[in-house]
Every structure is written in C-alpha cells, then in structure tokens.
Structure 1
C-alpha cells in the first residue's frame, strides 16, 4: 500500500517551486485525459487511476519534474477510505471471525512469497545489502522504504521496488478485470456523477475533513486510508450517516492518487535502478503468479469467483485495488475485507520479518 502518512521526505512527495511549472501541469492534464479516454474506450476499470498514473510516470521519467503536495494526496486517500467504507457490508467483522482461516491463509501466502523472493535476490548479491528484503516486503511502501536504510539497504532501490510493485499490480488487476468482465457488465461512470442528496453529501464532506484531521493527529502507518474507513464504517453501521460521494469527486481523488504514485519514479531513481530492473520485474512476476495460485485455492476452498479472489489477494496497494474493485462487478466486501485484514497483519508482521531476515542475512 502506498503510505501517505509519512511527511514529504519519507513519502517522496515534496513541493519545490522550481519543479511545478504550469506548462508541465497542463501537459500532465492533457496526457492524463488522453490515457483516461483511451482506457474508457477499452472499457478498462479504474481508468481515472491508471491513466493519470501512466501519464505522471511518462512525464517525470522524461525529465518533466513535477511534485505533489502532501495535502491533496492525503485528502485523496481519505476520500478513498470513506468510499471503501461505503462498500463494506455490515457483516465485515463477523465474516473475518467466521472465515479467519481464509484471511490468514491469504495473508500468510503473500508474506511467504515476498520472503522467498527477498531472500533469493539477497543471496544472489544482485542488490546491495538487504535491499531485496525490504523492497519485496508487502507492508506500506513508505514505511518499508524509510526503515530499510537502517538495515543496510539502498533506500532508492527499495523505493523503486516498492512503488513498481504497486504500479504493476494495479495494471495486472486492471488487465485481469478487463479480460474476465464483459464491457456491458461495467457500471456506467455517469450514474452518480452529480450529487443526488445534498444533505448526505455535505455530511460526508464534513466527515472527510474531520477524518483527515484525525489521521493527521494520530500518526499511524496508512492512517489516511484506514482511519477514515474505520470511522465511516462505524458511523454507517449505526445508521448515523449515509455516505454520498459523487462520481466527479471520486474521479478527482483517483487521478490525484495516480499522480502521487507516478511522481515517485524520478529519472535519478530510475537510472539508479536500471541495471537491476529486469530482476525487479521478475520478482514482481513471481508475486503475481503466486497471487493467481492463491486465488485459485480460494476459489476451490470457498464460494468466491476468481476475480474477487485475485483482487483480494493482490500484493499491490489496497487503495488502488479498492478503486478497481469499486468499478467492476465483484464481491467488493470480500476484496476490501481481505485487503484491509492483510494490510493490518502485514503491518505488524512485515517489518518484524524484514528486520529478522536482514539481521540473519547480515550475519
């Protein structure tokens, strides 16, 4: 998961004025619009996330420096967190308690696959120090990137590995959904483009702002996604609010998140990682292959369709997966519950496992 909780230094989002030239932003908007239009014509899900992300990567890598202030990125995460809550069924926690073996299995297999890849790359000496261990760890990308430097890893390479995985997993999820979902089954993006209930919308906006303030004060990893999601879910469960998020606001939040991910691929970082990029891509391919195998196991184990199982066990960012799941006919409750439960467990086990492997391999 991309981690907006960290400050500009840790999350690789900053605000140097020399970088944010108006013509670059105009070019970004134009290219993003072209990508979104193309993806929409192809009936691709989450076009408003993936189009801006691809446009941002292309511009930044081609030496058109752009940066994004932390506030809009955090606000976008908060909106997505509230959106996730609106798709979670009231039985979410009961489902986790009833099928805890399923959620534990999905999480354990993700951690196991990441550990195998990390150890194999470290033993091969293709990456310096313990870079591979931290680069393949499936926790919050920002957290793993910053912690890695204290354990003999190259923080720049870790950042490339983490955010490349997030980007490729989002693309893989989009392509898989595009292959398995008929275009006519996709919901119309214009259905809820405008506000249908202004009272609910204003209450939701107040909730977003308050959740953003709470997440700013409560410094936990992934807080700008998890805290709004939890607060909204509780309020919705007690029928205290009805979440109203028009499509136009969601599209803006999706685009902001896409840009935030894409801006991390700076030319300097990409050049630094170029010589090991094939091995990074190979490790991501292995994780996606494991994703497919685990999804098939879940299909045979419980009453779930393959696409829901695939998205639920995706090793990419929970936020990007949530956006894709919300735009296609899948079991969104299962997908988001699996992603959130995996994220929470990985945030506890992931750093501890990475530390332990780093210490063992250094010795």
Structure 2
C-alpha cells in the first residue's frame, strides 16, 4: 500500500526553524532582518531596507521556515511602492519614452531574445524536463510565466526557482554596483521616522492607490497592482491634483515586506528539487546580466546616460525591486521607470507567445 501523501506543512516534513510555531518564526525573521537592514543602511548600500530582510528571508527559508508573506500584504506593498515612485517621477517621463521609443523597443526585444535563447539551449541539452527552461528563463513577468508554464506542462516549482533567483541576482548586483560604483544611497529626508504627517493627504494617497490597484487587477492589466496605481498616481501628482504623502515608517515596512516576499520563496524543498538545475540557471542568469550590462554600456557611450541609470533601466526585472533601488539612488528615475515599464508591458504581451513558439520547436 502506498503511503498517504503528507501536507507540506505537516510535522513530519518540518525541520530546523520550521519546528517552531509560526509566530516565533516571524520573530526570528524580524530579529535577523533588523540588524542586517541597519548595517546595509549605515554602509550606504542602496535599498538596504529591502536587501537586509531579503537576505534574512533566504536564511529562514533554507533553514526550514514555513512562513510566507500573505498575498494581501504583497498587494499593499505594490500599492505603496507604486505611489512612492509616482510622487517622485519628473514631468518628462512620457517625453523620455516618446523621444527614445525606438531605442527602448530595441533594448527590450534584445533582452527577450537573449533570455529565450538561454532557455532554448538549456532545453535542447536536456538539463531540465520538457519546456521548463523556456518559461523559467523568460526575462520578466514572473507570475505570468508561472501560470503559462504550468498550463503548458512545465514544472512550476522549477519555473518559480529560475524566475526568483534572477530577481535576487539582479537586486544584489544592482545594490553592489550602486555602492561600489560611487552611487551611495540617497540621504534620508529630515522628516522623523515616526514624525507627524498630513493625514488627509496620506488617506487620499492610499485611497487612490488602492482604488487604482483593484481596478488594475479587475481589468487584467499586466502587473496591474503596480502599474495602475503608478500611472494614475503619477498623473494626479504631476497635475497637482494630489500630494503623495507616505510616512517613512510605512515605506520602511513596504521595503521589508518586499524583501521577505522574495527571500522566503527559497524554501529547502524547492532548492532540493532544483539542485540539478542550479548551475545551468546561474550560468544563464549571468549571461543575461552580462548582456544587459553590454546594453547599458551602449547607452552610456551612445546617449551619455549615467552608468547606474543605464544598468537599472536595462536590468531584466523585477520591476518592484528595481524601483526601490532606483528610488534609493541618485539616478534618473524617469528614464529607469520608462524603460522598465515598457519592458514589463512588452514581455507580458509577447513573452507567452514567444515562449510557446519556441517550446513547440524545442
């Protein structure tokens, strides 16, 4: 007789930190996150409030942690980050895109082509089962690729591993480049962490963000929970209709939640399942990052773009983590967001079609 399948969170499957009650696991996560975030901030590393919790989340997850950030919290994180960026963009965001759209389109399509080639090579070499590598290598729109890959018979766990490992690599490399390349984290505002703030403007900011986020999801806009509040908030902010008000403690909480949502995804079971694919995945990510770096270099020498701005603009996702790093650095935020938004929309629209086309021939 076959053994009865066990629930992933059953006591028999738990070990390490997973043996602790979930409230205790959260306390362990917070206890690890706080000193790491403080250290990164003192060291002047961009987005230290995100990178510290992300690293702590990875440590907890690979040591058996079973906690996960609830989806409603991640929705709130996207709202807060979208409205934060909306209040920071300059009026030339649309002009930046319209004046350089051929370059943006060429960069996005080049990154898509390189990521698709990497997935095709891994698939043809038989390293991963079926078409998993093609969906996992797609440069962006991770949630879309998970759904499409699962419907197409790919191993969803491996697709998730490949997608989110790239996010960790991109975010880590961007922070290192920002730190050692002379782009120190922006000096914090003089506003006290728990100081007074405009309650009416704060309520209006959250109201606009939540309403636009829900609308974006209902209309099935690609990454609608982020892009819809970002678009609506930027429009209202630039026209002076609203003043984006987000207290420092809320932004710090959103950064930490984003880091946790990434780090806690690297569970021990997923890592064990993906151990055979680890080296090929890392190689494909390094190749894609090197290619993105080449594109950034071309932007620097061709258009005179600041190196850090060029790198963040050409990085292959994720949009939310790149937005946090860009907002924490002295870069051209409008240029970064214009190219990253274009990449996300194009990869969401064309990515599944391209992946399916290549998968049929792989």
* Counterpart for residue 283 of structure 2: 282
Q: What is the deviation of 1:262?
A: 1.6
Query: Distance in 2 between the 1:101 and 1:162 partners?
Result: 27
* Counterpart for residue 227 of structure 1: 228
Query: Distance in 2 between the 1:225 and 1:199 partners?
Result: 23
* Counterpart for residue 21 of structure 1: 22
CA contact (8 A) 2:213 2:224 kept: no
Residue deviations 1:55-74 (CA, integer Å, cap 9, x gap): 11110110021112111110
CA contact (8 A) 2:213 2:226 kept: no
CA RMSD of aligned residues (A): 1.9
Q: What is the deviation of 1:37?
A: 1.7
Query: Distance in 1 between the 2:318 and 2:294 partners?
Result: 19
Helix, strand or coil at the partner of 1:125? coil
Helix, strand or coil at the partner of 2:361? helix
* Counterpart for residue 188 of structure 1: 188
Q: What is the deviation of 1:151?
A: 2.5
* Counterpart for residue 155 of structure 1: 156
* Counterpart for residue 112 of structure 1: 113
CA contact (8 A) 1:118 1:132 kept: yes
CA contact (8 A) 1:195 1:244 kept: no
Query: Distance in 2 between the 1:358 and 1:37 partners?
Result: 45
Query: Distance in 1 between the 2:122 and 2:354 partners?
Result: 16
Query: Distance in 2 between the 1:20 and 1:294 partners?
Result: 47
Alignment map for 1:237-316 (pairs within 5 Å): 237-316=238-317
Helix, strand or coil at the partner of 1:87? coil
Q: What is the deviation of 1:214?
A: 2.4
Query: Distance in 1 between the 2:189 and 2:54 partners?
Result: 19
Query: Distance in 2 between the 1:186 and 1:286 partners?
Result: 30
Q: Which has the larger radius of gyration?
A: 2
Residue deviations 1:30-80 (CA, integer Å, cap 9, x gap): 100121122123211101111111111110110021112111110001111
Alignment map for 1:7-156 (pairs within 5 Å): 21-156=22-157
* Counterpart for residue 360 of structure 1: 361
Query: Distance in 2 between the 1:20 and 1:337 partners?
Result: 44
Query: Distance in 2 between the 1:19 and 1:143 partners?
Result: 33
Question: Runs of 5+ in structure 2 lacking a partner?
Answer: 1-18
Query: Distance in 2 between the 1:21 and 1:176 partners?
Result: 36
CA contact (8 A) 2:79 2:209 kept: yes
Q: Does the C-alpha gap of structure 1 residues 113 and 244 become closer, same or farther in structure 2, counting only changes over 3 Å?
A: same
* Counterpart for residue 4 of structure 1: none
Q: Does 1:346 align with 2:347?
A: yes
Residue deviations 1:301-324 (CA, integer Å, cap 9, x gap): 213111100000001201100100
Query: Distance in 1 between the 2:74 and 2:20 partners?
Result: 17
Q: What is the deviation of 1:19?
A: 8.7
Q: What is the deviation of 1:251?
A: 0.8
Query: Distance in 1 between the 2:148 and 2:135 partners?
Result: 8
Q: What is the deviation of 1:213?
A: 3.2
CA contact (8 A) 1:32 1:52 kept: yes
Q: What is the deviation of 1:190?
A: 5.3
Query: Distance in 2 between the 1:342 and 1:273 partners?
Result: 27
Q: What is the deviation of 1:82?
A: 1.0
